[in-house]
Amino acid sequence: MIKLARIDDRLVHGQVAFAWSSALGIDCLIVANDKVAKDEFLKMTLGLAKPANAKLLIKPVLEAAAFLNDAKSKNLRILLLVNNVKDAYALASEVPEIVSINFGGIRGKDGSRLISKAIAVTDEDIAVIRQMLEKGLELEVRQVPTDKKQMVESLL
- Annotated catalytic sites, by residue? 13
The C-alpha atoms of residue 127 and residue 140 are separated, in whole angstroms, by 16
Contacts 24+ apart (CB under 8 A), 103-109: 103/6, 103/7, 103/139, 103/140, 103/141, 103/142, 103/152, 104/6, 104/7, 104/8, 104/15, 104/16, 104/141, 104/142, 104/143, 105/7, 105/8, 105/9, 105/10, 105/143, 106/7, 106/8, 106/9, 107/9
Answer whether 32's CB lies under 8 Å from 64's CB. Answer: yes
